[in-house]
Amino acid sequence: MARPAKADRHPEQPEVANPKIDPQTHGASNQIKNPDDWVTGHEPMTGAQASYLKTLSEQAHDPDAFQPDLEKAEASKRIDHLKEETGR
């Protein structure tokens, strides 16, 4: 036996723009925020950052670029710099 149709419990919501889809037309995205502006930039770099920075510093023949006590923001800047140097 078929159930009777229920009334829609959730009226149609207006579409909300997602700023991460197109940061040029919807404002800045947190994916492109300057590391100096990160709220958690002063925290120790993540394990992923440390691993990637170590790899890049070895590929760039710049072992001094890796330091195990870097903060997230500084690690991000060094990663970006080494990515440019190595063409990655």
pLDDT range class, residue 74, cuts 50, 70, 90: very high
According to the model, what pLDDT value does residue 87 have? 87
pTM of the model: 0.64
Each domain of the chain, given as residue ranges in start order, spans 45-88
Inter-CA distances, 1 with 6, 7, 8, Å: 15, 19, 21
pLDDT, tens digit (0-9, with 9 covering 90-100), for 25-67: 555 555 678 998 999 999 999 999 999 999 999 999 999 999 9
User: Would you state the pLDDT for residue 20?
Assistant: 63
C-alpha span between 23 and 32 (Å, rounded): 9
What pLDDT digit, counting tens, does each position of 9-32 carry? 666 777 776 666 665 555 555 567
